[in-house]
Chain A
């Protein structure tokens, strides 16, 4: 670069123009209509912290109860609700949303872009989470919590043994939060793959981006089994479909498989973002680079997939044959290998650098001291005979707290301290943070070492009290006392961060001497993030080019031109990071919160038996979603636009693969896993459940089979023809009619299954058939709605875009393919029986 005099004027003018374009509404309503990642992330973070406090208070109640034998503080009814809620709140309402919040806040900066790929989807996810989480807490305050433990094993959680709405609160509330997590995950995946700085190839991505990409894909593949499990249990509770009732062909083990198919990856979904933070912060604290970047990426990917092969290790005591257990025991020990690679990569990084003992580093040391112990007890638990002894004792409780608090909470506290200057523009100056650290970490170890021992001495988890004389009194008293000290320490951490946020010192950019792009933004990061999209040439852009922040601010990157007067971001090729398209981001809007309101209503109304309201809200979901899509779609074509640096790029909406296409692709991954789980459940009941085969089979007739085959073919071909017609400028009407015919035929074929078997409550076979047919019907209805939208676009004269037709084509293909598989699974057994 040639020497240029500083041009502050340019930077300031650009800043003012971008502020005007990107700012939320300054009035209070701005909080409800903003979709900027800074605002969404902050709200997300605040709400998740609030849930952490609630979960912590519940933990204190548990320890107060267990402090002494024969405690009269709580009875079993209250205690069972408290421990169930503690687990539920911490796992679902705190852990996952908290790292999502940090990702929403930091990811655009790290990747060198201005916002996440689908800003409105992010807001929607936030509000669904707030509404669902609040409903769960309100139910708790009314004494209507679930009380079956956070993994809700049926038949204990079935209607017969858990009457009342406690279990329904759990199922519906948690499912809505999972919907929110999936929305955020889709947003994260597409952002990491497509929205990056120019020149940021895969190998130049900051390490956190790799971790969070892996985690987001895991959310898309691990949550659907849980959502299916919840759907099965809720239909059993509400409608009597006997998925888990042995007498009618169900099996309670099916729940355990579906739950742990989600539940084990969940542990790594929680750990990996924290690991990503460690890998980000640790090299900066040691003033060096991460040792073995490629190793760590490979370890993260393999850890993610291996974690899906461990679920049965939560079921070692269910009577599965020893060979089956042996597979999972082997896989469970194997998972320690990538973990070990990460740990030693980090220690090796510290070795080659000069470590500065700042507050974030202190918490990272807390992580090491704690997590390694948790990992070792985890390996012990993978050993089958040992597991048979300590399963469901306090040993397991202590192990999981070592892993989750040591492996997640401590690194996340480090991350909050580390990124606080960037997020608030203020610096930590108080000694309180160190005091809090020295309260939390030693107290944590005293608490949970005692809990380990008491577990080895045979104290079962989830018992509301215990008798004297078993040698547990002293250990429990120590654990409880230390846990209160730990709670005070956590309170001080929150207080410390709060004080700094509102009264810390202002300071200069990049205080830690970090090497990644998020520190190139002004502090605190403005709504637009970067004044221009940076151009990077290596993995450590701020080391390569210390002037980069100024150059970005002066508009020397891409998209510095504000004359189009709209929010724009750069889309790059996935592998090489070459500029590809210009994405136009939506402005402030109340539509996301409105959609969240109707979605949450449709989820929560069944709790008060208001099924009509639920149905009405579902119609609302369709209407609001259509308005949303309709108003964000561009009105006219503009061809290639100037992106700066002489690049003339197409607008994303006019490309054959707009962001919506990528988003749909990954949403369909989740949908596909959901469908796969449904097929697994059907096959599982067929092979394992007692009382199978069913008393009679569904025998298909010729007409529905022909309808299904013809419908699927038409549905696959129609949208393709439409996309081609749009691209070549031909008429699309015929193709759309063909698609519509296909969707309706497929739906009719599915309806024939339900008509032939009118009692889904009779046997799990019939209930499964209804779900298979329901899957087909639901997706066919979705296809009809999408086709209607395409037709409206065409009639309205705004014109159809290839991208839109291709998105519908993607959904239509999925509907046709899974529809055929579902109907074949429904019909084939009857054909051959």
Chain B
């Protein structure tokens, strides 16, 4: 997308410079040139690039949708000013503050909601962001490729404590995940 954008930018600026350098002997007040400038460059060119880009973007979005899979894990995330509490339906009663524990290598659905204002759940390396809205539950599909720690943050301005409103995601290997569900955080 970046390379394509750069190519378009270079094309437009090159045409602009060519237009500036061109000094016809006589100014042309006619409407000649609509075929090239308007039909081709103005209309056909963006239509084709945008069509390709839109289709590509929508397909990508489709692949990121939370679909049913057999080894799905569900966790909950509740935001408030300025903390996150995570819950684990697989281990009722278990709750962690500020650290979300997930199994690595398995798709995880995060059910996101808020107790007060609008927040947004964002772990840049795992997925895009999804808002935490009071009264609504939004589901985000994430999957950690390998065990480890991933940093996450709130990404919707939520008042004085916004800058420090961060959390981490701890991805466990299968054994550690089972241990976590039984014994809670180490």
A-side contacts of B116, CB under 8 Å: 155, 160-161
Residue A476 at the chain B interface, CB threshold 8 Å:
no
- Whole-angstrom CA separation of A251 from B131 in the bound complex: 14
Verify B50–A334 contact, CB threshold 8 A: yes
- Whole-angstrom CA separation of A352 from B162 in the bound complex: 53
Residue B169 at the chain A interface, CB threshold 8 Å:
no
- Whole-angstrom CA separation of A252 from B135 in the bound complex: 9
Q: A373-B9, A380-B1, A384-B58 are in contact. Are A319 and B159 (CB under 8 A)?
A: no
Q: In residues 248-299 of chain A, which contact B (Cβ within 8 Å)?
A: 251-253, 286-289, 291-292, 295
- Whole-angstrom CA separation of A384 from B139 in the bound complex: 16
A-side contacts of B118, CB under 8 Å: 153, 155-156, 252
Verify B37–A348 contact, CB threshold 8 A: yes
Q: Which residue of A lies closest to B151 (CB)?
A: A458
A-side contacts of B139, CB under 8 Å: 319
Verify B1–A386 contact, CB threshold 8 A: yes
How many B residues have CB within 8 A of the partner chain?
70
Verify A354–B120 contact, CB threshold 8 A: no
A-side contacts of B81, CB under 8 Å: 161
Residue B91 at the chain A interface, CB threshold 8 Å:
no
User: Nearest Cβ distance between residue A182 and chain B, in whole angstroms?
Assistant: 29
How many A residues have CB within 8 A of the partner chain?
79
B-side contacts of A463, CB under 8 Å: 162-163
A-side contacts of B12, CB under 8 Å: 343, 347, 368, 372
- Whole-angstrom CA separation of A355 from B163 in the bound complex: 50
Verify B57–A291 contact, CB threshold 8 A: no
User: Nearest Cβ distance between residue B102 and chain A, in whole angstroms?
Assistant: 19
Q: Which residue of B lies closest to A295 (CB)?
A: B38
Verify A392–B155 contact, CB threshold 8 A: yes
A-side contacts of B16, CB under 8 Å: 347, 350, 365, 368
B-side contacts of A631, CB under 8 Å: none
Q: Which residue of B lies closest to A75 (CB)?
A: B160
Select the residue from B19, B24, B139 with max chain A CB neighbours within 10 A.
B19
Verify A350–B20 contact, CB threshold 8 A: yes
Residue interface mask A461-492, B partner, CB < 8 A = 1: 11111100000000000000000000000000
User: Nearest Cβ distance between residue A103 and chain B, in whole angstroms?
Assistant: 26
- Whole-angstrom CA separation of A256 from B129 in the bound complex: 17
Q: In residues 122-175 of chain B, which contact A (Cβ within 8 Å)?
A: 124, 127-131, 133-136, 138-139, 153, 155-163
Residue B72 at the chain A interface, CB threshold 8 Å:
no
Residue B34 at the chain A interface, CB threshold 8 Å:
yes
Contact for B159 among A161, A347, A372, A465, CB less than 8 A: A161
Verify A253–B38 contact, CB threshold 8 A: no
Verify A385–B50 contact, CB threshold 8 A: no
Verify B160–A80 contact, CB threshold 8 A: yes
Verify B53–A379 contact, CB threshold 8 A: yes
Verify A353–B128 contact, CB threshold 8 A: no
Q: In residues 299-336 of chain A, which contact B (Cβ within 8 Å)?
A: 317-319, 322, 325-326, 329-330, 333-334, 336
Verify A317–B130 contact, CB threshold 8 A: yes
Verify A291–B38 contact, CB threshold 8 A: yes
Contact for A156 among B31, B117, B120, B127, CB less than 8 A: B117
- Whole-angstrom CA separation of A326 from B57 in the bound complex: 9
Verify A295–B34 contact, CB threshold 8 A: yes
User: Nearest Cβ distance between residue B11 and chain A, in whole angstroms?
Assistant: 10
A-side contacts of B161, CB under 8 Å: 76
B-side contacts of A341, CB under 8 Å: 38, 42-43
- Whole-angstrom CA separation of A630 from B149 in the bound complex: 74
- Whole-angstrom CA separation of A286 from B30 in the bound complex: 14
B-side contacts of A325, CB under 8 Å: 61
Verify A389–B129 contact, CB threshold 8 A: yes
B-side contacts of A80, CB under 8 Å: 157, 159-160, 162
B-side contacts of A319, CB under 8 Å: 112, 130-131, 133, 136, 138-139
Q: Which residue of B lies closest to A255 (CB)?
A: B118
Q: In residues 32-63 of chain B, which contact A (Cβ within 8 Å)?
A: 32-34, 36-38, 41-43, 45-47, 50, 53-54, 56-58, 60-62
Verify A464–B19 contact, CB threshold 8 A: no
B-side contacts of A330, CB under 8 Å: 54, 58
Q: A291-B38, A340-B45, A341-B38 are in contact. Are A76 and B33 (CB under 8 A)?
A: no
Q: Which residue of A lies closest to B23 (CB)?
A: A354
Q: Which residue of A lies closest to B156 (CB)?
A: A392
- Whole-angstrom CA separation of A289 from B34 in the bound complex: 13
Q: In residues 374-389 of chain A, which contact B (Cβ within 8 Å)?
A: 376-377, 379-380, 382-389
Q: Given A379-B50, A392-B156, output 17 extra A-B contacts at Cβ < 8 Å.
A: A76-B160, A76-B163, A153-B157, A156-B159, A292-B38, A295-B38, A319-B133, A325-B61, A341-B42, A352-B33, A368-B13, A383-B1, A384-B60, A384-B61, A386-B1, A391-B128, A393-B155
A-B contact pairs, 20 of them (CB 8 A): A153-B117, A156-B158, A160-B116, A292-B34, A319-B130, A329-B54, A341-B43, A343-B42, A344-B37, A347-B15, A347-B37, A348-B41, A351-B33, A353-B27, A376-B8, A376-B9, A379-B53, A383-B57, A463-B163, A464-B163
